[in-house]
Amino acid sequence: MPKYIEISCKTACNRVNSDFLPFNWDLNIYRGCEHKCQYCFAVYSHKYMESENFFDEIYVKKNIVECFEKQISSKRWKKSVINIGGVTDSYQPAEKQYKIMPEILKLCIKHKVPISLSTKSKLILRDFDLFAELATLVPVNITCTITTVNENIRKLIEPNAAPAKDRFNNLKEFSKTNVNTGIFIMPIIPELTDSYNNLSMLYKTAKENNVNYAFHLR
């Protein structure tokens, strides 16, 4: 069982300087992630915190909702797209207890903030109505990273994340709304997830679940 450590933050959204990414701001309500993906790139971005155990010590930014409202209601805020959860999963198990995301989404609705969010959890469906409402006001993009249709391999590489079928179901449900949906097929791991059968099944299942786009990186 991971340890939850409550902390305060000074700002909610951090600037992302990238010509490649379709957003310039990132909002991470947690630091650390219980999903424990064996390929997690976010671990490396937290190397500066030597004592931190990224998967087992989850820092909860308790005042992030207040900080977020302050930031997006400022006259200087340019109504930019915000990526929610670039280096953590906003719907990891801690969110069941802390329920921060509904408050963030209510503020996005109030201030008409366009968002992008990626998750490997079916808990996102708890907030279905809020996403659907926001998507009637501004662009909303929801993606799930799905690397394999083989549940045995999924358990090895993403032990605490939802099975692929649940992630596809998330996208199928959101396809009934104005939300734009996508899958990230990455990483593609040699010998584990790079077979023709796996990749073609991922594309086929995405199509069957009305997913709008698929993106992959090798």
**What is the DSSP track for 104-152?**
HHHHHHHHT--EEEE-S-GGGGGGHHHHHHHTTTS-EEEEEE---S-HH
Q: Which of 134, 163, 135 is nearest to 147 (CA)?
A: 163
> Any contact of residue 120 with ligand SF4 (CB under 6 A)?
yes
96 or 112, CB closer to ligand SF4?
96
> Any contact of residue 26 with ligand SF4 (CB under 6 A)?
no
> What is the footprint of ligand SF4 within residues 160-179 (CB under 6 A)?
161
Shortest spacing between CB 103 and ligand SF4, in angstroms: 21
> Any contact of residue 37 with ligand SF4 (CB under 6 A)?
yes
Name the region of 79 (left: φ>0; alpha: ψ -120 to 50; beta: rest): left
Shortest spacing between CB 137 and ligand SF4, in angstroms: 27
Q: Which tokens sit at 50?
A: 């030597």
For helices 164-174 and 196-208, give the axis angle rounded to 10 degrees.
30
4 or 77, CB closer to ligand SF4?
4
* Binds ligand SF4 by CB under 6 A, chosen from 28, 83, 88, 141: 88
- The residue ranges that bind ligand SF4 (CB under 6 A) are 33, 35-37, 40, 42, 88-89, 120, 161
